[in-house]
Structure 1
Amino acid sequence: MGRDRISELPDDLLNLILMYLHMEESIRTSVLSSRWRDLWLKVPGLDLNLIDFPAHGELFGSLMDKFLEVNNGRLEKFKLNYENETYYLRDSFAPWIATVVDRGIKHLDVKNNTPWITDFMPSNIFKSKTLVSLKLVNIGLDNPKFVVSLPCLKIMHLGDIFYSHLIVEKLISSCPVLEDLTVVRIYYEDLLNFLCVRSQTLKKFRLTFDWGMGSTDFSVEIDAPGLKYMSFRDSQSDRIIIKNLSSLVKIDLDTEFNLKFGLGSPLELEDLTKRDIIRDFLTGISSVKHMIISHPTLEVLYHYSKLGPLPKFHNLYHLQAAFSSSLLQLLPDFLEICPNLKNLFLDYSVSAEPEQIDFTNVPQCLILTLEYVEIKELTMREETGIKLVNYFLENSAVLKKLTLSFIDSPMTNQESEIYMQLLTSTKRSRGCQVLIL
């Protein structure tokens, strides 16, 4: 028989391997041999997933108590994932978390999968000297009466948390080395109406808030001079303040600035406050180099462009944008504000009522800098899409590659030839390669 080389590994290495298994999987290894019987009790971290085993919740509770009794050393991570079916264990969750925090936990991840049933975290998480990452989903946070201090926390994820804006400000300001922050805002009366993110060390920030409920006024302020990446997906805030984002490299933008489309233009000439908010936001992110922008945001900018000029994005070299055929009228003007653009990715879609498109304007980037264009979701004989492709072929002086993909891709060679025959333009850039996927 072959040797059991895995069992010959030292305890420290085996414990490290077991740490990356769910708790129930780690416990199952105890039946392998006497060598493995108590190893799971000494792992430096636990992944406790109660959702898949609701009927065994009480058993898990006793095993967890035993683990904390035997394993009294410092833990690396503790992950707890549960839902309403394990309600009889809920009184144990806070004591477990308080215990692992006191023992110097580095990575804490707690997720409640039952909406509107809120468990509150123990207060000692606000003064942990060892936490490096903290992820809380659908959890409540009481406003602590003491000074919050999280000197080692670098990563924080707050998803659908029940708290006030004061707690969030305390948390962020108490993290002197915070680098990565995610906030998923939840609609709930009197909770987090105002989100303020001020940090000198923050490098990545993700904000999601898209619940279309109620009439409560929401606002957000971001002041992060070291920020490199931001995902901004907030369609509910009426007031948005952007400060000190000159270091921003990449942004993923999906917001309607709380404008409701439907009857007439969402932006009127006299709506100076909303116009100023949009203008100041765009100006605040204008140093960005890489932008992903959604169709709803482009729709807002289309209406805004009729009332005033869009700010220039001089550093932008990579743009991914979702343009429908009804918004293509904005495309030349939008490219005009990106004078140094090199790479353009268009997610194209056909609108029910496309507008007449004027492609006579040729922005500077098409003449001097644009080298790569990719257009996705084209339709074989759709007229507006053909005009769009012709526009780039006719006017892009330094274009190296134009890549086209279709809704029913991949196309056959015959279909590709048919589409090329539909194009009537002459390539301005003789070295441009047209690739049909």
Structure 2
Amino acid sequence: MVLGIDLNVNDFPLNGQVFASFMDKYLEFNASENLSINDRSRMQKFKIKYNEFNNYGDRFGELIGKVVDRRIEHLDVEADMFPTIRDFMPQHLYKSKTLVSLKLVRVGLVNPECFVSLPCLKIMHLENIFCGSDGPLAVENLISSCHVLKDLTVVRSIDRYNVEVLLFLRVRSQSLKSLRFTFANDMGGTKFAVEIDAPRLEYMSFKDNQSDKIVVKNLSSLFMVDIDTKFNVEFGGSPLTPMNLRKRDTIRDFLIGISSARHMIISQRTLEVLGRYMELGPISKFRNLHRLHAAFSSSLLHVLPIFLESFPYLKNLILDFTVSPETRQTKLRYVPRCLALTLECVEIKGLTKEEETGKKLMKYFLENSVVLKKIILRFRASPTTIRA
């Protein structure tokens, strides 16, 4: 009994007839009238990848509808089409009573004509989804209507043929625990915005270079956050200047919104923006944060003590250290609270024995970390561990 199927339409002749015949037989075998609702032998997983070169044509949407009607549990659809060719998913998708996981890549979502109800959907992956002009809220409605959704991945792209349709994306969920959000385009401009509202969210990966307005709220359950964003301060975005209060407020509110996290991973380009932000004022305190993993360039060394002041109860620090040709001469004198009271373990990666800035960094932690128990120095050749 075949409970799942993984299809690449490119493996079939281009005329589409063989593929059509195969699917007709497969769907007939899995016809709903031939199986009881509790029949574990029914089709459980359907995965398909297709493009415009197969003469099956616009029947893929109809095919997906038939598959959903077979009470499928795991659906994975990926279209590899020319940007001007739009293939939209059927309305059946919005009312499946059996879907547990859903992955959609480069397909369209229309505005639902029915009440959206996906009572079993726990995992959803939406990548490069586009919407019709009548359905800019289709993605938002789909997410918010999945009342047991636990794991969500959203990879957002710019629809260059219909830019104005989906400028604002809201991720709102009362059940969501894990979110990976990516919006990596560098188109420039200040049109795009995102809002995340998920009171039970425990893990968030946020990688966004395009959104000019970022709102995160009700994240009191957040345990771990992975941040890689430039807050759209470059590439035609709104600059971070003393006079641009809106940009400063966006960064401030974002940091406050994630301040309940206990574990943070932060990229170098985010730290570069925060370094400029801290020249204008302090960042919020992360009083629950015990573990920090940061990518630090030698050019940002002067920012490190001030940045660490925002984590008064930090216990574990990992630095991915890189050497920048723009390194300034810096004397590390200020000692943040965590070095004096809580920091127990420091790991520095990417060191080279010939580089002086890295030596200065090692010396700073060894001389100023009062309760330090272990420092791990990972040189490009081999790691070295020093116990305090």
The normalised TM-score by structure 1 is: 0.80
**Separation of aligned partners in 2, 1:183 and 1:219:** 14
Larger radius of gyration: 1
What does residue 72 of structure 2 align with? Answer: 105
Post-superposition Cα deviations, 1:397-428, rounded to whole Å, max 9, x if no partner, equal 22222112223x238xxxx7xxx9xxxxxxxx
- Worse overlay, 72-81 or 308-317: 72-81
**Equivalences for residues 65-214 of structure 1 within 5 A:** 65-72=24-31, 73=35, 74-85=42-53, 87-114=54-81, 116=83, 117-163=85-131, 164-188=135-159, 189-214=163-188
| Corresponding residue number in structure 2 for 1:286 | 259
Q: Distance between the aligned counterparts of 1:238 and 1:369, measured in 2?
A: 36
C-alpha deviation, 1:64, in angstroms: 2.1
Unaligned runs of 5+ in 1: 1-14, 16-42, 421-431
Q: Calculate the aligned-residue CA RMSD, in Å.
A: 2.1
The residue identity in structure 2 corresponding to 1:157 is H
**Equivalent residue number for residue 242 of structure 1:** 216
| 1:368 aligns to 2:341 (yes or no) | yes
Report SS of the residue matched to 1:120: coil
**CA deviations over 1:201-237 (Å, ceiling 9, x no partner):** 1111111001111535011111111110111111111
What are the superposed Cα offsets for residues 128-178 of structure 1, whole Å, 9 maximum, x if unpaired?
A: 111111110000111122222212111111100012541012112211111
Give the 3 Å change call, closer, same or farther, for CA 70–326 of structure 1 in structure 2. same
Q: Which has the higher strand share?
A: 2
Normalising by structure 2, we get a TM-score of: 0.90
CA displacement at 1:115 relative to structure 2 = 5.0
Structure with a larger share of its residues in helix? 1
* Contact persistence 1:185–1:192 (CA under 8 A): no
Question: Aligned-pair distance for 1:89?
Answer: 2.5
What is the CA-CA distance between 1:52 and the residue it aligns to? 5.5
| Residues 350-389 of structure 1: pairs in structure 2 closer than 5 A | 350-389=323-362
Secondary structure, counterpart of 2:264 in structure 1: strand
CA distance in 2, matches of 1:56, 1:135: 27
- Distance in 2 (CA, whole Å) between partners of 1:378 and 1:221 is 38
- Structure having greater relative contact order (Cα 8 Å, sep ≥ 6): 2
Shift of 1:364: 1.5
Contact 1:126 1:149 in 2 (8 A): yes
Structure-2 residue corresponding to 1:433: 387
How far the C-alpha of 1:337 sits from its partner, in A, is: 0.9
The amino acid of 1:321's aligned partner reads A
Output the amino acid matched with 1:241.
V
Q: Distance in 2 between matches of 1:337 and 1:244?
A: 21
Q: Which residue of 1 aligns with 2:314?
A: 341
What residue is the counterpart of 1:425 in the other structure?
none
Residue of structure 2 aligned with 1:221, choices 190, 195, 220: 195
Whether contact under 8 Å (1:45, 1:77) holds in the other structure is yes
8 Å CA contact 2:175–2:200 kept in 1: the answer is: yes
Does the CA contact (< 8 Å) of 2:208 and 2:228 recur in 1?
yes
Identify the residue that residue 240 of structure 2 maps to in structure 1.
267
SS in 2 for 1:119: coil
Quote the Cα distance in structure 1 between the aligned partners of 2:76 and 2:208.
24
Please give the alpha-carbon distance, in whole angstroms, between the structure 2 residues aligned to 1:155 and 1:62.
Answer: 31
Q: How is 1:8-87 mapped onto 2 (pairs within 5 angstroms)? A: 15=1, 43-51=2-10, 58-72=17-31, 73=35, 74-85=42-53, 87=54
1:410 matches 2:382:
yes
Distance 2:122 2:376 in 1: 40
Change over 3 Å in CA distance of 1:169–1:55 after alignment to 2: closer
Q: CA deviation at 1:190?
A: 1.7
Give yes or no for contact 1:115–1:138 (8 Å, CA) kept in 2: no
Counterpart secondary structure, 1:69: helix
Identity percentage of aligned residues = 59
Task: Determine the C-alpha separation between the residues in 2 that align with 1:215 and 1:277.
Answer: 16
Check conservation: 2:125, 2:154, Cα contact below 8 A.
yes
Give the conservation status (yes or no) of the 8 Å contact 1:232–1:255: yes
CA distance in 1, matches of 2:52, 2:358: 50
Over 3 Å counting, the alpha-carbon distance change for 1:81 and 1:332 in structure 2 is same
Match in the other structure for 2:38: none
Contact 2:262 2:291 in 1 (8 A): yes
Residues 216/371 of structure 1: CA separation in 2 closer, same or farther (3 Å cut)? closer
Are the equivalent residues in 2 in contact too, given 1:210–1:236 (CA < 8 A)?
yes
Rounded Cα–Cα distance in structure 2 between residues aligned with 1:115 and 1:276: 39
- Is residue 376–residue 404 contact of structure 1 (8 Å, CA) maintained in 2? yes
